[in-house]
Amino acid sequence: MEGKKWACSHCGLPRGIGKGNVWHKNGVITASQPPHIRGTLYDVEELNNLFPAVSRRIGFDVTRLVIEGKRRDGVRYTRSLMENLRHAGLEPRAMDVFRMISRFCSYWGLGIAEILEYREGEILSVRTPAYYSDPMARGDWAGVFEAADGSRGDPRWRDESVKEIIDVVAVEGEPELEERIEQEVELGIPFTEEGDLEYRHCPSCGIPLAVSEQFEWNPEISLIRERISGRRFILHNTNGIVAVVRVLEKELGEEIGNIIAEISRDYARGYYGEIKDRTSMEAELMKFPLRSWGRATALRKEGDFFRIKIVNPYSGPIVAGRIWGLLEVFEGRELVLNKREEDEGYVYVHLKAI
Ligand SMILES: [Zn+2]
C-alpha cells in the first residue's frame, strides 16, 4: 500500500470513505455529517440497464426525468456541503466547490472529473470520459453548478459522438416539472431504526471490513470494483434515483413499480447466474445492508410459496426485483411475483413457484 496516501493502512480502502460515512445497524449508509444524506453502493450496470429498459417498456423516454431527478439531488447535496463549510467558518467560492465535488467523484467511483472552465453565470465545463451514467452524470453537474453559481444549467455533451466533456450552460428553468421532482427529492426516503446488524469494523478508519473484502476501491482511477463479479460500483446519494422512480409511479401509475421490479429481476438473474458457483444465497443476502440496499429478513418458504421482508430498501421495486431474481437463481426455478407490499421503510415480496 506504499505510496497511496489516501489508503487506510489497515484495510486499504480510502480513509475518507470510512470517516465520511456511517454503516448503520438498520441496513442503511448515511453521510457522517449533517444532514446525514443516505448513500447507496450501486451496481453501475444495473442502473444503466434500468432507465433505458423502463423507456422501452413504457414507450416513453424517461431520460429527462432522470436528469431532473439527479439535478435536484445535486443541488440539495451541494447546498448542504456549502452550508457545512460555512459552519466551519469558510465562505466557499464556486470554483472551490467544483474542485471539492470533483474530488468526491474520484472517491465515489463516479469517474475522474476534471474542471476545465468556469465562467460565472455562464458555463461550467467538466471533462469526464469514464462517467458512470450519461443522464445521471449530466444531472449531477447541472445541480452542482446551480448550487454553487446560482444559475439553472442545461448539461450538454460538447460532442455527442465522443461524450467526454459536459458543458453546463446557464439557461432559464422549466418550473413545473422541476417543482414535482423537487418535492419528491425533499421527501427523502423513509427508514426505520429497526435493526441489530453487527459489523466488524476496521480499527483504523472504521469502515466495516466486509466492504474491503467485497470491493477494490481506487480513487486514483475513480474505480470501485466488486471482486466477485468484476463489475463497477459507485457510492452515490440515494435520493435522486428514488425520486425518479416515484415520479414515474405518479405520472404513469403504480404498474410502473411492477415493471421496474421485472427489469431488476431480469438483471439479477443474469448477475447471480454468473457468480452462483462461488457464493451462496445467504452470503448474497448478507451483502444487501453493506450496500445500503436494506436488510432482507424473515425468508419464509412454505411449499411453493416464498415470502421475504426487506427492511429499509433504498427503492422498493428495485430491491424486490433483485430478491426475486436472486431466489430464482439459487432455488433453481422460475417464480412469479404474487404481491409486492410497500410500507414506510419496508417492502414485502411474495413469490410463488410455477
Ligand atoms: Zn480501514
Over residues 307-346, the pLDDT tens digits come to: 999 999 999 999 999 999 999 999 999 999 999 998 889 9
Q: How far is the CA of 187 from the centre of ligand 1 (A)?
A: 33
Residue type, 221: I
62-70 average pLDDT score: 88
- Distances in Å between the alpha carbon of 62 and those of 153, 249, 278? 19, 12, 36
CA of 248 to the centre of ligand 1 (A): 39
Q: Distance, CA 300 to ligand 1 centroid (Å)?
A: 36
Q: What is the pLDDT of residue 33?
A: 84
Q: How far is the CA of 73 from the centre of ligand 1 (A)?
A: 29
The model's confidence at residue 3, banded by pLDDT at 50, 70 and 90, is: low
In this structure, of 62-76, 157-171, 266-280, the range with the lowest mean pLDDT score is 62-76
Residue type, 94: A
Distance 211 CA to ligand 1 centre (A): 10
What gap in Å lies between CA 214 and CA 340, rounded to an integer? 29
* 156, pLDDT greater than 60: yes
Torsion of CA 320, 323, 328, 329, to 10 degrees: 140
The Å distance, Cα 208 to ligand 1 centre, comes to 8
Q: 195: CA distance to ligand 1 center in Å?
A: 24
Distance 286 CA to ligand 1 centre (A): 20
Mean pLDDT to the nearest integer, 276-290: 95
Give pLDDT tens digits for 110-137.
999 999 999 999 999 999 999 999 999 9
- Alpha carbon of 89 to ligand 1 centroid (Å): 29
Measured in Å, residue 254 CA sits from the centre of ligand 1 at: 42
Cα of 19 vs centre of ligand 1, distance in Å, is 9
Q: What is the pLDDT of residue 314?
A: 93
**Which residues share a beta bridge with 125?**
117, 167
How far away, in angstroms, is 106 Cα from ligand 1 center?
18
Looking only at Cα atoms, what is the longest distance across the chain?
65
| pLDDT at res. 1 | 47
- The pLDDT value recorded for residue 73 is 87
Per-residue pLDDT, 176:
61
Q: Is the pLDDT of residue 252 over 90?
A: no
Alpha carbon of 28 to ligand 1 centroid (Å): 19
Mean pLDDT over 161-186 rounds to 79
Q: 200: CA distance to ligand 1 center in Å?
A: 11
Residue with grid cell 426485483, as numbered in its chain: 321
Gap between the Cα atoms of 269 and 324, Å rounded: 9
pLDDT digits (tens, 9 = 90+) for 216-227: 999 999 999 999
- Please say if the pLDDT value at position 241 is more than 90: no
In the chain, where are the structural domains located? 15-187, 254-353
Q: How far is the CA of 219 from the centre of ligand 1 (A)?
A: 15
Which pLDDT value is given to residue 245?
Answer: 82
Question: How far does the centroid of ligand 1 lie from the alpha carbon of residue 18, in Å?
Answer: 7
Q: How far does the centroid of ligand 1 lie from the alpha carbon of residue 212, in Å?
A: 8
pLDDT of residue 158: 98
The CATH homologous superfamily of the domain defined by 254-353: Trafficking protein particle complex subunit 3 (3.30.1380.20)
Q: What's the rounded Cα separation, in Å, for the pair 288 and 310?
A: 10
Q: Domain 15-187, what fold? A: Muramoyl-pentapeptide Carboxypeptidase; domain 2 (3.30.1380)
State the distance from the centre of ligand 1 to the C-alpha of 207, rounded, in angstroms: 6
Confirm whether 15-187 and 254-353 share one CATH topology: yes
Q: How far is the CA of 17 from the centre of ligand 1 (A)?
A: 9
